Amino acid sequence: MTATPEAQPAPIGQRIDNSYAELSPQEQRAADFILDHIADLAVYNASELARLSGVSKATVSRLFRSLGFTDAQEVRDHARALRSEGVPLGGITLGSGDAGLELGHGAAALEAHLEQERSNIHRALEAVTDGRLDSAAALLARARRVVVIGLRNSYPVALHLRQQLIQGLADVRLAPQPAQSIGEELAGLGPDDAAVIVGFRRRPHGFTEVVDALRQLGVPVVLIGDSSAARYAPHATVWLDCPVDSVTALDSYAAANSLVALLASETLGVAARGTRSRISSINRLYGDLNELE
């Protein structure tokens, strides 16, 4: 009998929403401040939250207990855990006033965002200087067909990769198609084919089964994901680690799109002879179909 997965504790914002009506006016004041500055929970202590929200430290402590937390440290740990899982929490603000507390205003906020993007891209590209990118490109270039798989928030990255690969490779498929299942896209694949699985954090249930199915079919796999996908790396032929860290409320995929653009370019370079012929045919059809300006 399969054990039922243990339910995860609700995020603090949901806990506040569920109990808001039962909070005292002072507790609601503190709760409002927390909801407006939820990203800061990873660094604020109870005294700072009390001062900034205009209530007593005792009020903040009562609020935390009513929400199911022992103390401010547990709240900070909770906030860090949520963000590391990709849960949107707060973010930078370019305006003035209390909403800009996280990183300051205007240029400072943009500079922090730019620095994080630079760091992500640098880390992603530095990780492939050991020859992994070349190995992935060679694998895709010699494959009979390539299936690019992206589930949930990984889908746009997979779509971008497929659109670039199809410029030079004859058979590149995207899975799953909108509103479709994935099984029919995997049927018939084998060792002569290749799959690229894009698996960034907050992956849906079923990701593990897709990885297992490809392994059972003997399909070589290029796995692209952040560090949370590292546990699947032993089942991949090539593992490309790509960070999505962000100072904003949402994960950033700038490094991911940079990495897949480089992977596509390397792949088309390996398959140069066939690529040139295909690109020439595509350009002729663009003209015949009057598809581009």
Q: How many CA atoms lie within 13 A of 119 on its CB side?
A: 12
Q: Are 222 and 236 in contact (CB under 8 A)?
A: yes
pLDDT tens digits, one per residue of 236-272:
999 999 988 877 767 889 999 999 999 999 998 886 6
pLDDT tens digits, one per residue of 169-193:
889 999 988 877 888 888 899 999 9
Q: Are 92 and 112 in contact (CB under 8 A)?
A: yes
| Token digits of residue 38 | 């939820």
pLDDT tens digits, one per residue of 193-219:
999 999 998 888 889 999 999 999 999
241 DSSP 8-state letter = E
Spell out the domains of the chain, with CATH numbers in brackets.
7-84 (1.10.10.10), 114-289 (3.40.50.10490)
